[in-house]
Structure 1
Amino acid sequence: MIDRRLRVLQAVARHRTLTAAAEVCRLTPSAVSHQMQALARELGVVLLEPAGRGVRLTAAARTLLAHGEILTAQWERTRADLAAHRPGDVGGALRFCGFSTAAAAVVPQALERLRREHPALRLHLHETEPARAFDLLAAEDTDIVVVVATPDIPPASDAAFDQQVLFDEPLDVLVGPEHPAVGREDVALNEFAADPWICSQPGRAYHQLVMLACTSAGFAPDVAHHADEWDTGAALVARGFGVALVPRLAELPARHDTRRVPICAPPAPIRRVIAAVRAGSEAQPAVAAGLDALRRVCASRAELSGHVSAVDPSRA
């Protein structure tokens, strides 16, 4: 019931180019351009202006987007209210998007709870990078995303989404068995400033995580090798080719002889794991059940392991 062209305009606003918006919306750039021109003609205003290789939103476009976010959120709330008129157990499809170890750590356990407590639900998990997960959420191609907070995702103030903090997880430095930091208890991250580093490809969430952690500690890491898989990174670390930053919950291959070094001296690096849904959809029965399952799994992990700290969403 919401004009689909508003979704396209939202994608243009997030990505700043018609080409990127077209990829997200599964359209051609010419189709995106045509839709934006047609919408502008119907409304009698200019929506987009050229800006270098991209486009810039006009004041009219921003006004339209603000009203569009209200309309979209209200439609999501309407669907939640209509669900009360459908008898029976919580059912339908519930789609999750997750990122790497953030997804592996909690989403499968949440899915297990949902399968047991709401057998009528059809569950699906899609693993993808955090920024892409939000594109899928905005396009209504997924319902709940569980990702690491990075600079690439929308800010918590973005009215199109409702973001909730699930937990904060410490990051450890992974070193080889002969590294001088092995066995120490008062290590600071900046002590690894002279080490070669192993990190994922630029542009990926893990790369951003490492860069931010090291920058906060006062140095820029010398990235000697790029590895997107924990297996490859651990193999390089075990053989003395560098150090890496790993989440506390990440399960590393046992065949590689590595050691985890917790960072005790401030600033101790962490990664924040969040859940996000479309604004207004959190009261829909399936989405509400999914969020509740995630929160319970995270609370149980924090209580049992002490490796993560669950965060009260009202104080995050």
Structure 2
Amino acid sequence: MLELNGIRALHAVSATGSISSAAAVLHLTTSAVSQRLAKLEREVGQTLLERHSRGVLLTDAAKLLVDRADKILALVDQTEAELEGHRGAVVGEVSVAGFPTAARGLLTGTLTSLAARFPALSPRVSELEPDVSIPLVIRGDLDIAVVQDWFNVPLNLPPGLSRTELLDDVADIALPAAHPLAARTTVDLAELHSDRWISWTPGSGCYEWLLYTLRGYGIEPRIVHTAGEYATQLALVQAGFGIAVIPRLGRESIPEGVRVVPVQPLLSRHVYAVWRSGGDRRPAIRATVAALSRTARAATP
């Protein structure tokens, strides 16, 4: 008989592309995930994963099992939700993921709220970008994802997901203190047409959004430096190497020598929580979404 632990492990590997990433999502050690996969291979009597230099590839047998697992785990999740809803208690585990600034600006407060109200609940938090977290929610390997899209580039959610709006997060422009516009109360985006830009890493949604947005206002951006962390971006701004878009949610301390100025037109992103439709029959998911909403209302990004 196939055990659900092994199926969930294979599911997570399929969604994330590696055993180590699957371990992070499942809050297990890499060794524990490998052991579950090895046991599953013994149970099915076939090889499920092929190792290569960039991670692992699923065999045909594994792909078949993952396809069936979607239905199996969906039924298990539905049954657990109905049982938990019938009991009415906010207990057990609930897994939540958020992109980095949401993890810092929303999830910590949400954990605090849940701990105070529901001590029998065991939330587990991961820091994941939407392109990783949304497939995990669809597959049932993650309960809730906090995701974002920008005002002019909406995120198309796949069918089968429910959502609730959390907040609109405004972004400002970070300028070196010596910049000619650093003393302004606001700056027009068109005034930055000749500046050098510091952006997110190429290929990320935010990097593509910045290119799309600036070109939409007639600016061909000169992106000279890229960094995934805002602290690194701000350090580059502080050193005078360019300017950057810095959202307010989860914003770190602004270093000396950097001025953060509001920009016109307003740049903002929508932040919301998503979960599998019907999953909110579980009191744990309802309680966590409510806690996210409370934390978002209290936030002042």
Shorter-chain-normalised TM-score: which range?
0.7 to 0.9
Deviation digits for residues 113-133 of structure 1 (CA, Å, limit 9, x no counterpart): 100000001121111221111
Task: Check conservation: 1:73, 1:278, Cα contact below 8 A.
Answer: no
For 1:28, give the aligned amino acid: L
CA pair 22-169 structure 1, distance change in 2 beyond 3 A: closer
Residue 219 of structure 2 corresponds to 219
Residue 86 of structure 2 corresponds to 85
Q: Give the deviation of 1:256 after TM superposition.
A: 3.8
CA pair 21-143 structure 1, distance change in 2 beyond 3 A: closer
User: Is 1:274 aligned with 2:267?
Assistant: no
Question: Among residues 17, 39, 46, which one is paired with 1:23 in the alignment?
Answer: 17
Partner SS state of residue 86, structure 2: coil
For 2:285, give the aligned amino acid: V
CA pair 290-38 structure 1, distance change in 2 beyond 3 A: closer
Partner SS state of residue 109, structure 1: helix
CA pair 37-237 structure 1, distance change in 2 beyond 3 A: closer
Please show how residues 52-201 of structure 1 align to structure 2 within 5 Å: 76-86=77-87, 89-149=89-149, 155-156=156-157, 158-201=158-201
Deviation digits for residues 104-151 of structure 1 (CA, Å, limit 9, x no counterpart): 111111111100000001121111221111132233222111122279
In 2, Cα distance between equivalents of 1:35 and 1:128 = 25
Residue 252 of structure 2 corresponds to 252
Q: Give the deviation of 1:293 after TM superposition.
A: 0.6
In 1, Cα distance between equivalents of 2:199 and 2:169 = 18
Partner SS state of residue 109, structure 2: helix
In 2, Cα distance between equivalents of 1:231 and 1:36 = 40
For 1:286, give the aligned amino acid: A
In 2, Cα distance between equivalents of 1:110 and 1:22 = 25
Partner SS state of residue 85, structure 1: helix
In 2, Cα distance between equivalents of 1:39 and 1:107 = 30
In 2, Cα distance between equivalents of 1:127 and 1:169 = 18
For 2:83, give the aligned amino acid: L
Q: TM-score, normalised by structure 2?
A: 0.74
% identity of equivalent residues: 29
Q: Give the deviation of 1:28 after TM superposition.
A: 3.3
Q: Give the deviation of 1:286 after TM superposition.
A: 0.4
CA pair 39-101 structure 1, distance change in 2 beyond 3 A: closer
User: Is 1:243 aligned with 2:270?
Assistant: no
In 2, Cα distance between equivalents of 1:141 and 1:152 = 27
Question: Among residues 289, 292, 296, which one is paired with 1:291 in the alignment?
Answer: 289
Residue 53 of structure 2 corresponds to none
In 2, Cα distance between equivalents of 1:132 and 1:207 = 17
For 1:284, give the aligned amino acid: R
User: Is 1:34 aligned with 2:78?
Assistant: no
Residue 15 of structure 1 corresponds to none
Aligned pair count reads 266
Q: Give the deviation of 1:154 after TM superposition.
A: 6.3
CA pair 154-205 structure 1, distance change in 2 beyond 3 A: closer
Deviation digits for residues 218-265 of structure 1 (CA, Å, limit 9, x no counterpart): 3232110112222221111112110000002343344442001101x3
CA pair 39-90 structure 1, distance change in 2 beyond 3 A: closer
Q: Which runs of 5+ in 2 are unaligned?
A: 23-47, 51-56
Task: Check conservation: 1:73, 1:160, Cα contact below 8 A.
Answer: no
In 2, Cα distance between equivalents of 1:293 and 1:100 = 18
CA pair 154-284 structure 1, distance change in 2 beyond 3 A: farther
Q: Which runs of 5+ in 1 are unaligned?
A: 12-18, 41-63, 308-316
CA pair 225-135 structure 1, distance change in 2 beyond 3 A: same
Q: Give the deviation of 1:23 after TM superposition.
A: 2.0
RMSD: 3.8
Task: Check conservation: 1:195, 1:243, Cα contact below 8 A.
Answer: yes
Q: TM-score, normalised by structure 1?
A: 0.71
Task: Check conservation: 1:131, 1:152, Cα contact below 8 A.
Answer: no
